[in-house]
Structure 1
Amino acid sequence: MPPIRRSNLGRRTRRAIISQNVRGNQTQVERAEENEWRRAHIAQVRAAQSSPQIQQNVVRTPAINAGLNRAAFEYNSAIAYKDIRCVDIGSLSVVCQHCNALKFQSETPGLCCAGGKVKLPVLTHPPEPLHSLLYGNTIQSKHFLENTQKYNGCFQMKSFGAQVVDVPGYSPTFKIQGQIHHRAGALLPLPNEDHKFLQIHFVGDSAIELDQRCAIFTATKREMIEQLQNLLHEHNELVRLFKTALDMI
Structure 2
Amino acid sequence: MYCGAIRFHRESPGFCCSNGRVSLSTLDVPEELRLFFGSSQMALHFKANSHTYNNVFAFTSFGVTYDKELCRNDKNVYTFRVEELVYHFLNDLMPKEGKGTNLQLYFHDVENEVNNRSAVSDKLKEELVLMIMKILEVNPYFVLP
TM-score range, shorter chain: 0.5 to 0.7
Matches within 5 A, 1:16-55: none
Cα distance in 2, alignment partners of residues 128 and 201 from structure 1: 25
CA distance in 2, matches of 1:143, 1:211: 19
Match of 2:110 in 1: 205
1:177 to 73, 76, 83: 83
Residue segments in structure 1 that go unaligned for 5+ positions in a row: 1-93, 99-123, 244-249
Output the CA distance in 2 between the equivalents of 1:181 and 1:232: 25
User: Cα offset for 1:179?
Assistant: 3.4
Moved over 3 A (4+): 94-98, 124-128, 190-194
Aligned mates of 1:174, 1:226 — CA distance in 2: 35
For 1:126 and 1:202, locate their aligned partners in 2 and report how far apart those are by CA, in whole Å. 31
Task: Report which of the two structures shows the higher radius of gyration computed on alpha carbons.
Answer: 1
Q: For the residues of structure 2 that align with 1:164 and 1:143, how far apart are their CA atoms?
A: 32
1:192 deviation in Å? 4.0
Corresponding position: 1:234 with 2:138: yes
- Judge conservation of contact 1:166–1:176 (CA < 8 Å) in 2: no
Aligned residue pairs total 120
SS state of the match for residue 123, structure 2? Answer: coil
Equivalent residues of 1:161, 1:180 under 8 A apart: yes
Gap change, CA 1:190 and 1:139, over 3 Å in 2? closer
Judging changes above 3 Å, is the alpha-carbon distance between structure 1 residues 192 and 221 closer, same or farther for their aligned structure 2 residues?
Answer: closer
Match of 1:155 among 17, 36, 57: 57
User: Percentage identity across aligned positions?
Assistant: 22
Which structure carries more relative contact order (alpha carbon 8 Å, separation 6+)?
2
Quote the residue 1:194 is aligned against: 99
Q: CA deviation at 1:155?
A: 1.5
Greater helix share, 1 or 2?
A: 1
What is the CA–CA distance in structure 2 between the aligned matches of 1:126 and 1:182, rounded to whole Å? 33
The SS at the match of 1:235 is coil
Report the TM-score when normalising by structure 2: 0.65
Q: State the shift of 1:223 in Å.
A: 0.5
TM-score using structure 1 length: 0.41
